[in-house]
Structure 1
Amino acid sequence: MLRPGRSSLFFRGWLAAAVGVLVLRPTNGRGVPGSRPNILLLMADDLGIGDIGCYGNDTIRTPNIDRLAEGGVLLTQHIAAASLCTPSRAAFLTGRYPLRSGLSFHESNGWGSAAGNAQTYQFFAGQILETLDAEGLTNSTLVYFTSDNGGFLEAQVGNHQYGGWNGLYKGGKGMGGWEGGIRVPGIVRWPRVLPAGQVIHEPTSLMDVFPTVVQLGGGKVPEDRVVDGRDLLPLLLGTARHSDHEFLMHYCEKFLHAVRWHQRDRGTVWKVHYLTPVFQPDAARACYERGICPCAGHAVTHHDPPLLFDLSSDPSEAHALTPDTEPSFYQLVATVAQAVEDHRRTLGPVPLQLDARSNVWRPWLQPCCGPFPLCWCSREGEGQ
């Protein structure tokens, strides 16, 4: 472990929070040509979808991330299960809404060490890809790239934005329902298996990665709990036309802020908002005066009837529909309300894992490189 410093802390944070690697023994896959792949999972922190070239950015150069998309599949409606780091990552690792694991909580407004730094991510999302090439592992490796949530709009000094950009999508990190906080990059590359350059507009979720990896590894998704993610492989291979997700719930802490409904027979994706944060100042599109938007209380607006958007034609959620502009308004809202009721029947009481009492430093659980409590070393490997 390196001695803490600005560069080493950033690099360690990037490796610990943004990169996961799983190598599987090569055997015959289930209906997939060739052997099971090596699997490389890359997750950036607070990277706005609008910061990446292959998602439309024309001012920031992200050639390595773009190269990944050119050789793989790009998901345009890839959705985080939460608009904050820890609950989103918990859902990513378990395939379950964070509420089910007791990991739905609101973070402080501290800035991430590399929030929104697309160029830094693509420099590293580049070194990793070059290593795969050099080791002859590219064709036998599935690479997945994403972000845990949208860009942190409140990370701003003066007129300079440091927390990433979410493109045309409204809102950002910490906002439970707005697209800017939950629509994230989703790129999957597996040469000679997945079609290169394919773009998929179906709703998918970070929760889908867990069952997909389990299936590719020859394992079995647990049956003793509800798993909300779905195997992505049929969609990626082109053997399925539609995502298995009909409804996706968008939570902020334990509060359901919005719901997405993919109405397949019409090819339309609807979004219903029950709660939205009150932006500050009034004309802003974020909670600049608070540092991050709250999930409940007087700082959110309760909508009755709820706000309704057609994401298929209005992805920036600029024009809320009304009974006058959408003849099916009440029917659509009622359908989503029934889906919410069905979803809530699957929830059970779970103790909060990161409340004030649980989220305290436990030094006896900390990996220690040097003699306790001096758990750092001047050089990697020293004292181990």
Structure 2
Amino acid sequence: MASQTPPPLLLLLLLGWGGDSLQERPNFVLMMVDDLGIGDLGCYGNTSLRTPNIDRLAQEGVKLTQHIAAANLCTPSRAAFLTGRYPIRSGMSGSSRPGVFLFTAASGGLPPREVTFAKIAKQRGYETALIGKWHLGLNCGSSQDHCHHPHAHGFSFFFGVPLTNLRDCQPGHGTVFQIHKYLPYGTMGAVLLSAAALHLSGAWRLRRGLLLGLPVLVLVLAGLTAGFVWTVPYLNCVLFRDRTIVEQPFRSENLTQRMTREAVSFMERNSARPFLLFFSFLQVHTAMFASAAFKGSSRHGVYGDAVHEVDWSVGQILQTLGRLGLREKTLVYLSSDQGAHLEEEVHGGSNGVYKAGKSTNWEGGIRVPGILSWTGTIPAGGEISEPVSNMDLFPTVVGLSGASVPQDRVIDGHDLMDLLQRRRERSQHQFLFHYCNSYLNAVRWHPPNSKLTPDPPPDPHGGGLMVPFVPAGTSVWKAFFFTPNFYPEGKAACFHTHVCFCTPDYVTYHHPPLLYDLSRDPSESRPLTADTEPAFWAVLAAMEEAADSHRRSVQPVQSQFSADKLMWKPWLQPCCSTFRQLCRCQQDRP
């Protein structure tokens, strides 16, 4: 029997109607560097670190100079990036500290009801992969349910860590669990000495058992603290391949090179069909590390070495796309999840002229690099100074994959393609809202009648961006309802902690709110008053009205940062061996 040729209409449907065939959809390579500062890259003005591959990516595409992270900490920022929604809408923000997951065996995570761009792309026929850091939860009820695993959110392949690169994962770098700040050793010691003095003086006789019990209590608490800190690497520093633990605790050395090989292999395996790769670097988050090839390569210690290694990795990704003939078929994006972590006061990057850093909503904490390149589709060599958000990648990816954004929920991001291709001059974000955990901290307003000028030329001294001269009438307003209390005054640190807290004991409320014009004062050094700004009250009234409207749009959801969801639960602990063997294995040879 002769074969039958499908009718023309059926053939068009099989191949894809209206240019929506699987072969014509672009690939996506989305790269996020952890804690990278906007002042760390040559294309943003740094002259003391070498980032030639990232700089070339910017020359081949568009550089965003007011690219804003939707949150100032890792977990909520990444949730917003993947879903296009403020973290408060998905419960990925809490009212108390910390604002990130600190245990692999916690039960909180990105809720299954949330829709990520990876989930939509996978439904559209894409091969999807996450390589690197996840930090959005793992399990719910058992150590094997993987309800928050990347697989549950649209990533078919996963090679990376479910938490983050804690300092505990690097021998000799200390611990992120500053338990001595919460166990009052000094107070207990004072009580012990006072009780002994009273007893010996005869003023107050203590029974022998109680007197001997006090130092025993101190020793027990000290032992428990030391034991907990010693076991953290075995509990939290876990490397997965899909759902299988391949290294526990993982070794950081050469990990970026291993992840890069995995990324290259994924692109090679899927070069004939559309793919989405999310490469989520562990660097340059503390604890700092760099492979042997990059140690000592910079003038900025191990932090600079790590930046150099990230740039090398970006170069390998771009070379692979070129070798496979995919540069004209691939949208490439590079950013950071928030600003450099200056508050750590150990290792830190540069946020240019912008104030403070990670964990704050000053510009240094949320204004991050933003580079997009798509050869032949996005004009090369451009700069866009309009306010945009990392939430904008969700509708951009969804639209280019041939799908529509979900209509059953609020999507806060906006498709970037018209802006990137110069079909429109202004961002669709008139207002952006900045949260500190679940507290609305600040509002940004770019009124529709103002237009921004390009970024200033680089600082010849290598310090990042210079303060631009901006003519009147180009205002980008920013109002703070409260600000973190810095200690010591004028320094980057907050109360000798690693992050700045949002709860009332650690902030100062402002009535009226602090108001800045970022177009004239990008360093946020001179708050405006009614005497210095004629439109002071009118601007604040408009921003407070927008904040009230935004608050009304937020529907209550279960917080993923409640004490119960943040705490360590032994029955959720991923372990590649028995607890007796301290959850230790190495199944994946580097």
Selected match of 1:165 from 342, 347, 350:
350
* 1:125 partner SS: helix
Matched-pair contact (CA < 8 Å) for 2:81–2:391: yes
Q: 1:192 to 1:365 in 2, by over 3 A?
A: farther
CA drift at 1:73 = 0.6
- C-alpha change, 1:150 and 1:358, in structure 2 (3 Å) is same
User: 1:276 is matched with which residue?
Assistant: 483
Q: What letter corresponds to residue 166 of structure 1 in structure 2?
A: N
Q: Which residue of 1 aligns with 2:86?
A: 97
CA deviation map 1:231-256 (0-9, x unaligned): 01110011011000000000000111
| Counterpart contact for 2:419–2:425, Cα < 8 Å | yes
SS of the residue 2:331 aligns to: strand
In structure 2, stretches of 5+ residues that fail to align are 1-14, 103-165, 168-281, 286-302, 452-474
2:31 and 2:577 mapped to 1: Cα distance? Answer: 33
**Bigger strand fraction:** 1
- The whole-number CA distance in structure 1 between the counterparts of 2:564 and 2:351 is 34
Distance 1:212 1:262 in 2: 21
Distance 1:27-1:223 versus aligned 2 partners, 3 A rule = same
What does residue 215 of structure 2 align with? none
Equivalent residues in 2 for 1:141-152 (5 A)? 141-152=330-341
Matched, 1:125 2:334: no
Q: Residue 219 of structure 1 corresponds to which residue in structure 2?
A: 403
Q: In the alignment, is the contact (CA less than 8 A) between 1:27 and 1:35 conserved in 2?
A: no
Deviation at 1:352, TM superposition (A): 0.9
Quote the Cα distance in structure 1 between the aligned partners of 2:445 and 2:315: 36
Once the two structures are superposed, the pairs formed by residues 10-25 of structure 1 within 5 Å of their partners are none
Overall identity of the aligned pairs, in %: 52
Alpha-carbon RMSD: 2.4
Greater alpha carbon shift after TM alignment, 112-121 vs 166-175: 112-121
The letter of the residue matching 1:114 is V
Q: Distance in 1 between matches of 2:283 and 2:427?
A: 34
**1:293-318 CA distance string (max 9 Å, x none):** 11121221111111111111111111
Moved more, 336-345 or 370-379: 370-379
Q: 1:357 corresponds to which residue?
A: 564
Question: 1:53: which partner in 2?
Answer: 42
Decide which moves more: 289-298 or 205-214: 289-298
The number of residues matched between the two structures is 348
Residues 1:318 and 2:525 aligned together: yes
Query: For structure 1, which segment, 338-347 or 357-366, has the greater mean C-alpha deviation from structure 2 after superposition?
Result: 357-366
Distance 1:351 1:199, change over 3 A: same
User: How far off its partner does 1:287 sit?
Assistant: 1.8
Which residue pairs with 2:543 in the alignment? Answer: 336
Q: Does the CA contact (< 8 Å) of 2:344 and 2:499 recur in 1?
A: no
Would you tell me which structure has more helix in proportion to its own residues? 2
**Unaligned stretches of 5+ residues in structure 1:** 1-24
Contact 1:26 1:36 in 2 (8 A): no
SS at match of 2:565: coil
Does the alignment pair 1:114 with 2:303? no
CA distance in 1, matches of 2:17, 2:313: 30
Query: How far apart are 1:140 and its partner, in Å?
Result: 1.0
Verify the 8 A CA contact 1:125 1:145 in the aligned structure 2.
Answer: no
Which residue number corresponds to residue 450 of structure 2?
Answer: 266
Task: Name the SS for the 1:68 alignment partner.
Answer: helix
Cα distance between partner residues in 1 of 2:497 and 2:413: 33
Q: What amino acid sits opposite 2:488 in the alignment?
A: P
> What SS is found at the alignment partner of 1:357?
helix
Amino acid at match of 1:53: G
Q: Deviations over 1:27-82 (max 9, x none)?
A: 8658xxx9321111001100011101101111111111101000001100000010
2 CA distance for matches of 1:380 and 1:284? 44
Q: Is the 8 A contact 1:274 1:306 kept in 2?
A: yes
Tell me which amino acid in the other structure corresponds to 2:331: L
Partner of 1:378: 587
* More moved, 205-214 vs 111-120: 111-120
Give the whole-Å Cα distance in 2 for the aligned partners of 1:118 and 1:296.
Answer: 33
Letter in 2 for 1:318: S
Higher Rg: 2
Q: CA deviation at 1:361?
A: 5.6
Deviation at 1:101, TM superposition (A): 0.6
Where relative contact order (Cα < 8 A, 6+ residues apart) is larger, the structure is: 2
Aligned to 1:10: none
Cα 1:70/1:292, change in 2 over 3 Å: same
Equivalent residue for 2:277?
none
SS of residue paired to 1:260: strand
Q: Which moved more, 1:348-357 or 1:239-248?
A: 348-357
